[in-house]
Amino acid sequence: MNPNKALWEKGDFTKIAETMRESGSALINKIGITKDIYLLDLGCGDGTTAIPAAKIGAKVLGVDIAENLVAAGNARARNENLSNCSFQEGDATDLHELKDDTFDVSMSIFGAMFAPKPFDVAKELVRVTKPGGKIVMGNWIPGDPTFVAQLLKVSSAYAPPPPEGFVSPMLWGIEDNVLERFGNAGISKENISCERDTFTFVTSKSPEEYVELFKNYYGPTMNAFDAAESIGKASNLQQELLDLVNSQNQNGSNGVKIDATFLRVTILC
């Protein structure tokens, strides 16, 4: 199996996505999604940004590599009676099933950044977006002191070494890399803007329960726990993650509310 597909079909990312809904809706409003546009949400998961875009009235296609997340997204769209929103499987590095110049806006929020071959991802996003259209990416930032970057940093310290040729997804959070990758796809740097933004994770679960979500349902952290267990250090990893959540939690013992900084990229095609 494609290792990226296996990673995101491991566990159940919908459990994490449930804590991201408020910020997903807020981001859709912030980036100016409007009624009647045709929107691609690439690496969409179960629709954290696709569903609120469809509620505004956009025609939305969500594409994700994970079969279970595509099924969950289609179920959410049916439950919301959103006939203007559908989900299908696809690989961000090769969107051969999508035609050139199709979408008014192509978006990927913490999705396509995890695909291998980042130059191919940029080319495909540009290819399927109409001239005069827009691409929006949300990418976690390497070394950032806020939650997700630190979660991935802690997890990677326990995970097995990556395969030869591996390109860290976190490199999408560096502006120079964004400029290079989309420049290679034919976009001039004057048409690319990057700014820091904030995504907030909110849940009524306790910090301990929140760590359990990542341990049991989030592919990268699940792999880290598998590796840590094999060397007898699973409890160390669990404690590090709990310390991280407690250090950044704004709600104390009344659930979890944590901000995470990301790089919001806007590209005019």
pLDDT of residue 163: 80
What CATH number is given to the structural domain containing 114? 3.40.50.150
Q: In the chain, how many domains are there?
A: 1
Q: What local confidence, expressed as pLDDT, does residue 3 receive?
A: 86
Q: 10-residue block means of pLDDT along the chain (269 residues)?
A: 87 95 96 95 98 98 97 98 98 97 98 96 98 98 96 91 87 98 98 98 96 95 94 96 96 90 98
In angstroms, rounded to a whole number, what is the distance separating the alpha carbons of residues 225 and 247? 21
Residue 106 CB neighbours (<10 A): 30
Q: Which domain holds residue 38?
A: 3-268
Q: How many helices, marked H, and strands, marked E, lie in the chain?
A: 11, 7
pLDDT of residue 1: 65
Residues 6+ apart with CB under 8 A from 59: 36, 37, 38, 39, 84, 85
Secondary structure class of 183 (helix, strand, coil): helix
Nearest to 139 by CA among 106, 175, 103: 175
Within 101-218, residue ranges assigned H as helices are: 118-128, 147-158, 175-184, 207-217
Q: What are the phi and psi torsion angles at 267 (to 5°)?
A: -125, 125
Tell me how far CA of residue 53 lies from CA of 27, 49, 99, in angstroms: 10, 6, 21
pLDDT at 216: 96
- pTM, entire model: 0.95
Q: State the Cα–Cα distance between residues 114 and 121, nearest whole angstrom.
A: 10
Report the DSSP beta bridge partners of residue 259: 200
Euclidean distance between CA atoms 59 and 44, whole angstroms: 14
